[in-house]
Amino acid sequence: MPHPLFDQHQATLAAAVEALRTRGYWTPYPEMPSPKVYGENADAEARAALERLVGADFPLDQPGECARIAPERSPYGARLDVRYPACSAQALVDAASAAQPGWQKLGPDGRVGVCLEILARLNRASFEIAHAVMLTTGQGWMMAFQAGGPHAQDRGLEAVAQAWEAMRAVPAEAVWEKPQGKNPPLRMQKHFEIVGRGVALVIGCGTFPTWNTYPGLFAALATGNPVIVKPHPNAVLPAAITVRIARETLREAGLDPNLVTLAMFDAPESTQALAMHPQVKSIDFTGGASFGHWLLDNARQAQVYAELAGVNNVVIESTDQYKAMLRNLAFTLSLYSGQMCTTTQAILVPAGGIDTDQGHKSCDEVAADLAAAIDKFLADPAVATAVLGAIQSEDTLARVESAAEHGRVVLASRAIPHPDFPGARVRTPVVLACDAADERAYMTERFGPISFVVKVADAAAAVALSERIVRECGALTVGVYSTRPEFLEAMAAATERAGVALSVNLTGGVFVNQSAAFSDYHGVGMNPAANASYADAAFVANRFRVVQRRWHID
């Protein structure tokens, strides 16, 4: 029988599947924080709920609790001190494994229905999650609401829809009949059961604790696996709210809430030990290359889905919309202070300059004009603080302060006071100029608001360098500006060979560091920045197995 939650959300699932097929724009979760959509009192209620958590125990009742820890420090300088349960890793694994058989019996439609209900409840909690994302990551309010709430929920739904399609391709049963000439045919009844591989570990990042967590969480859960969520120690609250809502939904559905738990540890070694636990069969990780490669090298018992560091780049060969191009790049480099895995770091410009609708521009002029465009965009402090947000970590702040060591400063970073948070770490982007030969400067990811205008020999050299950067350093995005079709074809060929998404002549309201669920393939899985594409069937298909049983029938 279909599960009641599957029936309740079937229309949403069908629309999500169709959106994946057509790859056009679609979302069931409104991205604007409108009181008309989310309730007149949604914002006030969310603020009050978070205020009650400050300096208090977060309400999670999990097995194996041995302490309460409060690791977060807000980049806005706001007090948090929320105390989360630190639980025995073995207790969490044991509880997850014990919960899996009941989840298995629910079947694909039941699991998908419950996942869809969790997502619906997360959407209703978007204001609470958004404030938690803002305070822990340093994102500006609008980004925190959109990326932390509806856009992250889109990504979770995208994973559920992909999982449903992959599971639906497996028939539940079949009759096998083999002719035997004059003798009666051989006939067998066969049953095919979709079985989750085992405990899934989802390790969150400090900058996008929901957007980068929901795909793995829901892909694993929908395909029959219990999930342990290990958040970044600087961004626990959004993950804890997510886990709380998931557990409440599971409990109300008559299921074991330990299908989803939160893992908090004092020491990194505890995370490493959990990652290598023999019952952990899949790991999703977004973050630094060092730990990502450690997981790939050491967690051999698990399928690891990793999104790591990269050097995203843009090639400028020519443009017929010079000012619009500069405005687009200025926003790209400023948004959330460059603390996105998709933000451009290297801007490759031919030494001979570029042709534009404003006349020929030298490489140095392009760099200076870009710096001026950033300054103009951030001239209004209200706009600047809303777009830049705050610097999430001390390490990123240190990189910004020492950036001048790596090139000629075209635009220096400056601190901007925040009107609402006196302790906020707000910094404008720093833009550096260097030659292509200075590879140690720009061919290393320098996470944060740091970019390089790199002078290359000519346009052909720019294409070759862009491709080499992707192959050797990894990248999630590449951009190109050109009025020449043959040059655009050369860039398309280079990015196809290297395996990276290409954005062409962006001058409007879409930016290279943005990715749309149900449409864009985020992460191609062909270069060192990511070993999987998080928007196709392969992301979910390896999370379950098909176990069959068969018997003779007359």
| Secondary element (H or E) of residue 285 | strand 280-286
- Strands 260-262 and 280-286, how do they pair? unpaired
Q: Is the pLDDT of residue 427 over 90?
A: yes
Task: Tell me the per-residue pLDDT of 109-150, one tens digit each, with 9 for 90 and over.
Answer: 999 999 999 999 999 999 999 999 999 999 999 999 999 999
Cα separation, 259 vs 62, in Å, equals 11
Contact 346, 479 (CB under 8 A): no
For residue 418, which of 380, 379, 378, 382 has the smallest C-alpha distance?
Answer: 382
What is the rounded average pLDDT of the residues 209-238? 98
d(CA 359, CA 419) in angstroms, rounded, equals 41
Which tens digit of pLDDT belongs to each residue from 357-398? 999 999 999 999 999 999 999 999 999 999 999 999 999 999
Between CA 339 and CA 392 the distance in angstroms is: 8
Split at pLDDT 50, 70, 90, the class of 346 is very high
> Cα separation of 417 and 434, whole Å?
30
Kindly state which CATH superfamily the domain 312-504 is placed in: Aldehyde Dehydrogenase; Chain A, domain 2 (3.40.309.10)
pLDDT at 537 (0 to 100): 85
pLDDT tens column, 52-75 = 999 999 999 999 999 999 999 999
Tens of pLDDT along 494-512? 999 999 999 999 999 999 9
Residue 268: what pLDDT?
A: 86
Write down the mean pLDDT value for the chain: 96
Question: And the tokens for 224?
Answer: 């029959």
Q: Which two tokens stand for residue 464?
A: 């070759």
Q: Is 55 left (phi over 0), alpha (psi -120 to 50) or beta?
A: left
pTM to 2 decimal places: 0.96
Judge whether 242 and 229 are in contact, CB under 8 Å. yes
pLDDT per residue as tens digits for the range 159-170: 999 999 999 999
How far is the C-alpha of 479 from the C-alpha of 221, rounded, in Å? 35
Instruction: Return the pLDDT at 536.
Output: 81
Burial 189-209 (b: 16+ CB within 10 A, else e): eeeebbebbbbbbbbbbbbbb
pLDDT exceeds 80 at position 408: yes
The predicted model gives 284-290 an average pLDDT of 93
pLDDT over 90 percentage in the chain: 96
Same fold, 4-13+57-308+533-552 and 312-504: no
Lowest mean pLDDT among 273-287, 424-438, 449-463, 515-529: 515-529
Domain ranges, ordered by start, for the chain: 4-13+57-308+533-552, 312-504
Mean per-residue pLDDT, 475-485: 98
Integer Cα distance of 241 and 129 in angstroms: 7
Across 12-41, average pLDDT: 96
Q: Is 417 helix (H, G, I), strand (E, B) or coil?
A: coil
Is residue 21 predicted with pLDDT exceeding 90? yes
pLDDT value at 1 more than 70:
no
Mean pLDDT, residues 259-281 taken together: 95
Residue pLDDT, tens place only, 150-196: 999 999 999 999 999 999 999 999 999 999 999 999 999 999 999 99
pLDDT at 216 over 90: yes
pLDDT at 538: 87
- Per-residue pLDDT reduced to its tens digit, 90-115: 999 999 999 999 999 999 999 999 99
- Which fold would CATH assign to domain 4-13+57-308+533-552? Aldehyde Dehydrogenase; Chain A, domain 1 (3.40.605)
Q: Judging by DSSP bridges, how do beta strands 430-435 and 450-456 pair with one another? A: parallel
Q: What is the pLDDT of residue 38?
A: 96
Cα separation, 506 vs 133, whole angstroms: 28
Q: Is the pLDDT of residue 344 over 90?
A: yes
pLDDT at residue 535, as a whole number: 78
